Structure 1
Amino acid sequence: MTRRTYTVLALCLALVATGVVAGVWWTHRWKGTVTVLGNWTGGDRDRFRSAVLDPFEREHRIRVIYQGSSAESQVLAADVEAGTPPDVVIMPGPGELAAYAAAGRLKPLDGLFDPDDYAPMWAPRVAGGVHWVPVKADLKSMVWHPGTLAGADVARIARDPGEWCLAMESGATSGWPGTDWVEDVLLQQAGWEVYEKWATGVLPWTDPRVREAWTTWGGLVGAGDERRVVPALRGGFQDPWDGPDAACDDERLEHQATFVRDGDHWTEARGRYVHSRTVVPDARTGPPAWEVSADLAAMLRDTPEARALIRHLADPATEQPGFTANRSVPQSAYDGDRTTARIDATLRGRGTMRCWDASDAMPPAMRDAFHQAVLRYLAEPRALDGQLALLDRVRVRLTVPWLPPVCGNG
């Protein structure tokens, strides 16, 4: 052989060896792939990736391809219609998942985790089986205030709309901070039994108690006042305190869920909270009822990789991306400070009445109409009766199943 032939042969052998090594490395590195669709983007996505998904990949050698979208409902609907759904979806609330389960799109999770680790409302049996598991839980019915403001003073200043931070923009789901308000006012004024009938499609939107919840909210936040409404409609809920177009500036109160305490504003203000019935006019007395929400994982394709991920998400030993509804997680996981421990006790304690965020529990068409209605009501409160009549027509026309009872104290 010539020297050139030896050189070419050596190069070919080197390339083959490199390919073999790469193939062995790849086989060792990944045993499979699982696709996940969620609504977490930005910092929320990064925290979920580092706290939950990266450890799963290291332990199981299963690659997780995560897609986050603020228009998750639309993306999922398109993927399902095209026959290319993700293996696992993580959605905020059970209403949309209940519709997919009834249509046979979700795979049962029976045997992948113990439902008894959760209160029945968190992981109910729907369409013949358990179809979702909570990944991250949040407490609502909260009014946040600066640590320098005494809790006893919150009710006094809450009657002034200028004291409230209100920001409604949230991409494809704009309006949900307003639906949270209306829901919570109804829960505190009318009680959980009325709330549950309304949230499950039994009670009409035109019921006087529902109407009173809307007008109470409007009075608290200044519905119809252009100086208040325009910034609120434009302001992004994720960071309403910062930037040249900030919706909130000197306001001292915010009606928002637990996740708001992670933001810069409430960290710097040493934020504390009171139960929302402190500020809701004509709120009922007695044991408090709390509105709650959760991001729920469901399986659309039954693969070994998807099953492994569901087990990991439900495992009490898995680091949590936030608060959990899993009772097998030790309380010591939330002993960091008094506020954290108090929130955890409310989310997981027995005997506490908790109700799903109603819009999250409603069928998608009802939820979307509700979102739009609160935006219109802020701008034109005098048109409320027409909006409620429209919402009730949507309720009556819906043929998809509504979620089973949305409240429980288990």
Structure 2
Amino acid sequence: MRLLIKGGRLIDPFNHIDAIQDLLVEDGKIRSRGNALDDSGCEIIDASGKIVCPGFIDIHVHLREPGFEYKEDIASGTRAAACGGFTTVCCMPNTEPVIDNEAVVGFVREKARKVGIVNVLPVGSISKKQAGLELSEIAELVTAGCVAISDDGKPVMKANIMRNALDYAKMFGLPVLSHCEDLNLVNGGLMHEGYYSTIYGLRGIPAAAEEVMVARDIILARLTGGHLHICHASTAGSMALVRQAKAEGLNVTCEVTPHHLTLSDEIIDGYDADTKVNPPLRSEEHLLALREALLDGTVDCIATDHAPHHFEAKDCEYELAACGISGLETAIAVIMDKLVRPGLLDIKDMVKLFTSGPAGVMGIDKGSLEEGKSADITIIDSEIVKTVDPRTFKSKGRNTPYKGMELQGWPCMTLVNGVLVAQNGEIVLKK
């Protein structure tokens, strides 16, 4: 099968490409780039006026299967990813049973092969059952197909466990994805500790609860030489620590989420449980520090931390509500509208943060339009304006603080291995 994507603005940060070019796809691979390519025998996609990118990658997604299929499953989660413009997702291990052994990894990979419509890469747990007491069999997880290890959803409170995880993971070239949170400092908090937590009468979570664990894990990365990746970094202090670690030459990377880049704790005034997330939405000063870190290269990638929940988990008092935002279907539009369109983030940098950036963190052969590579492609229409309506989500999780918000700039086509799987928010591939 030959497919020619004509007249689009190709942006491929990995190969330093930003030009109006055609893209030829053949047998699921990128065959060539250029102008006036031979279109004989090709199916044509007119991408004039649109942005053609390597397939977007989300390295932090909760697909919930096995065990919590009422929140999300691999079929619904990958459809949400495709409609959101993502061609590859890395799924977190806080399932039931936990992804801590070969059998569960095998289940996830086989289920993804059968019903998934984007690439699914499993992340194994650092500790058995995510209990934080004993390391998982890391070699077994690598052999089974895991691309990283993490206890995301729970912090690794024991420093010796994290040290050993970094040591063992280093032998396999595996990143350790750290959920940085000191539970003793969290102490039952519900939102960021500061002015608005006082005004709204909710117990606060200090920025230090994240920062002391970021500092600890960076010290352990220095000790071991392992690859430490900070998940969902949310504070100015975390950015300063990561920036310093990078300057020192340590193998430390980090991600930020669209919601921490665009929403502050002020919006919690209505006690809408869809604003409850972990780490919490921070104050304006932290939000601005994250944006600054995007520009100076401290942040390696944007990841959604897609955390879908069933209706009842959010339709309750703020104190009782589950933490998490269903973010796959809105992430690109949020960044396009809130950062790129106002000129706060260059479109080329935005594409890098969703493509070669996350691919580099995870050490996967994705994130470019290089000839011979899999034709995973995301096409964005910067002119599309839509209002976020959770009722149209392909995810089972409708929990989003962006509901009712008008956003400009949406993914319009998603191709995986050269096959069009989603178009204008709808699934077109039958599987």
Give the TM-score, by structure 1 length: 0.27
Larger radius of gyration: 1
Specify which structure has the higher proportion of helix: 1
Q: Relative contact order: is structure 1 or structure 2 higher (C-alpha 8 Å, sep ≥ 6)?
A: 1
Structure with a larger share of its residues in strand: 2
